[in-house]
Amino acid sequence: MADVLSITQHYHQRTKYDPETLSQRGRSLDFSQQPMPFKDYKFGTTIGLKEYLEQGVDASQMQWQRLSRLLYCSYGITAVIPYPDNPLYLRTAPSAGGLYPAELYVIAGEGTVLPAGLYNYQVRTHSLLRFWDSHVWSALESACLWHPALAKTQLAVVVTAIFHRSAWRYEDRAYRRICLDSGHLLGNIELAASICDYKAHLIGGFADQPFNQLLYLDSDQEGVVAAFALADLLEADQNLPPAPTLLPSPTVEDFPKLPDGELLAYTHTATSIASEDITYNNPLPTTTKEDKYNFPFCLKVPLANTPVDWGDDLIDLKESILKRRSTRKFTGDSLSLDTLSRLLSFTYCPENYQEQGLDGDPGFFDLGLIQTFIAVLDITDLDTGCYYYAIQAQELRQIRFKNFRRESHYLCLGQDLGRDAAAIVFHTADLQSAIARYGDRAYRYLHMDAGHLGQRLNLAATHLGVGVSGIGGFFDDQVNEVLGIPEEEAVLYITTLGKPPPPAQE
């Protein structure tokens, strides 16, 4: 008898790219029908935030400045590509295809710089639009199943996804990219919070329907994917201990035959939590972080684990957030092992950065579920091949001896980034084990955590002058086969690292 698949396992299988079928899926895109990556409201009160970005505000405006900088560093527009019909507004967080499916909301309770109510972050004008002015904090606590951080805070940041923005281009597979994009944004919010003297307490387990209703969302088009309780570290009573970030959902194994085009929406709904299912009074503990693989007789390369220096008051981190760009081309030249070690340090070892003022326990869902493999194409003092990154031991364990340039080019759907990179990072997870622990909602957690890790890689690479680009489209099964990755490890995300071309001369 064949194994029964849950809905997210079925979704993952259905949305895999395969070289024999991908060419048949090709379709031309009508860019005149591309969804707008911004949400407009026909009513509400606008609160401008631009004036608070600059230095020199007086003491009475400091809270406004911190909130303004937090939102701008998280998701603000940093450049505009002036296409004739539809300019592309580039933001601090990367998005597959520049589609930006995520929306940001702020919920204010009593006693904050904002009047109580619901706000949408208007990216184009860097402002907050207050579209509901009632007291909603108790409804937020209920929707978030009484997350403990909400009892002591009065500001929350909420991330939602408008599904069609990505599905327009990537069809049903878009749900993977939506969760990865959301993970990029979660990483930015967490780091921007530290820069602005907040602690962002991540909340991934919540009752979906009440939360969507709280924000007046059309659940067929848009849904909450994550939230943060925003604690003010300048207030003594808001210096809170770490709190749980996730709750399990049911596992759905009885579902109808779903045609293409309906799989994404059904899968998202199936990963929901109902308010009566569970609360944060009895959450599951996350898994223990451990090095899952210790391959016999493999070469083991210790890493120096040297921290990245982010400068006084994290000024270099802020600059990296604002100037980050996805690299479109690599030269094919090498990177040093020390550079690779620094990139991995910032991404996976947050405890090394507490002395610099960063959170040593940032908001992830469960990194014990995610494994990391690295295809080394040209790193000085390191043999080419595929390595397992043993985070706890801080070493690379070689599992395959080979130069993968030709194969990585193929695995990344023929993108030259896969061929010309110096190293390629693969985030993977055992879906069956993750779903057994957290239900189908694990699929969201895994991809958002992978996107969060990818964002930290992006920012460290930007600071160190390394080219970096995330890839969400790849031949799934062939990655495992070519690199020698265990079959049960589903590939979630790929990040390419390489030497960027020199800046163009004006």
Strands 385-390 and 370-376: antiparallel
What is the percentage of the chain residues whose pLDDT exceeds 90? 87
pLDDT of 162 higher than 90: yes
58 & 206 share domain:
yes
Let me know if residue 189 belongs to a domain.
Answer: yes
398 & 487 share domain:
yes
pLDDT of 104 higher than 60: yes
265 & 313 share domain:
no
Closest CA to 103 of 77, 75, 144, 139: 75
- Domain, as residue range, for 435: 300-498
Mean pLDDT of 156-162: 98
- The answer, as to whether pTM is greater than 0.95, is yes
Residue 98 has what pLDDT? 94
Indicate the residue type of 167.
Answer: A
Confidence bin at 7 (pLDDT 50/70/90)? very high
Evaluate whether 155 touches 108 at the Cβ level (below 8 Å).
yes
What is the percentage of the chain residues whose pLDDT exceeds 70? 98
pLDDT of 506 higher than 50: no
Q: Cα(228)–Cα(208) distance, rounded to whole angstroms?
A: 15
Let me know if residue 22 belongs to a domain.
Answer: no
Other beta carbons less than 10 A from residue 253's beta carbon: 12
Let me know if residue 349 belongs to a domain.
Answer: yes
76 & 220 share domain:
yes
Let me know if residue 284 belongs to a domain.
Answer: no
402 compared with 215, residue with greater pLDDT: 215
159 & 101 share domain:
yes
Residue 29 has what pLDDT? 81
Q: DSSP strand E in 313-448: where?
A: 335-336, 370-376, 379-380, 385-390, 395-400, 423-430
**Torsion sign (Cα): 375, 377, 378, 380:** positive
pLDDT in tens, 36-67: 999 999 999 999 999 999 877 787 789 999 99
262 & 345 share domain:
no
pLDDT of 505 higher than 60: no
pLDDT of 447 higher than 70: yes
143 & 238 share domain:
yes
Question: Which tokens is 90 given?
Answer: 């580039």
Let me know if residue 23 belongs to a domain.
Answer: no
Confidence bin at 504 (pLDDT 50/70/90)? low
| Residue appearing with tokens 């820069």 | 195
Lowest mean pLDDT, pick from 28-32, 99-103, 415-419: 28-32
Residue 26 has what pLDDT? 59
pLDDT in tens, 334-389: 999 999 999 999 999 999 999 999 999 999 999 999 999 999 999 999 999 999 99
Helix (H, G, I), strand (E, B) or coil at 342: helix
Residue 27 has what pLDDT? 67
Confidence bin at 1 (pLDDT 50/70/90)? very low
Mean pLDDT of 264-269: 98
DSSP state of 266: H
Confidence bin at 22 (pLDDT 50/70/90)? confident
Indicate the residue type of 73.
Answer: C
Average pLDDT, rounded, for the chain:
94
Mean pLDDT of 325-335: 96
Mean pLDDT of 239-255: 95
187 & 73 share domain:
yes
Other beta carbons less than 10 A from residue 469's beta carbon: 25
54 compared with 416, residue with greater pLDDT: 416
Let me know if residue 203 belongs to a domain.
Answer: yes
What CATH number should be reported for the domain holding residue 258?
3.40.109.10
Mean pLDDT of 464-471: 98
Residue 30 has what pLDDT? 81
Q: What is the count of structural domains for the chain?
A: 2
Q: Which run of H or E residues covers position 409? A: helix 405-411
pLDDT in tens, 423-438: 999 999 999 999 999 9
pLDDT in tens, 166-203: 999 999 999 999 999 999 999 999 999 999 999 999 99
Let me know if residue 29 belongs to a domain.
Answer: no
pLDDT of 485 higher than 50: yes
Q: How far is CA 459 from CA 218, 248, 347, 375, 377, in A?
A: 34, 31, 9, 20, 21
pLDDT of 461 higher than 50: yes
305 & 258 share domain:
no
336 & 422 share domain:
yes
pLDDT in tens, 71-84: 999 999 999 988 87
Let me know if residue 25 belongs to a domain.
Answer: no
310 & 437 share domain:
yes
Q: How far is CA 220 from CA 29, 150, 209, 267, 268, in A?
A: 23, 27, 11, 12, 10
58 & 207 share domain:
yes
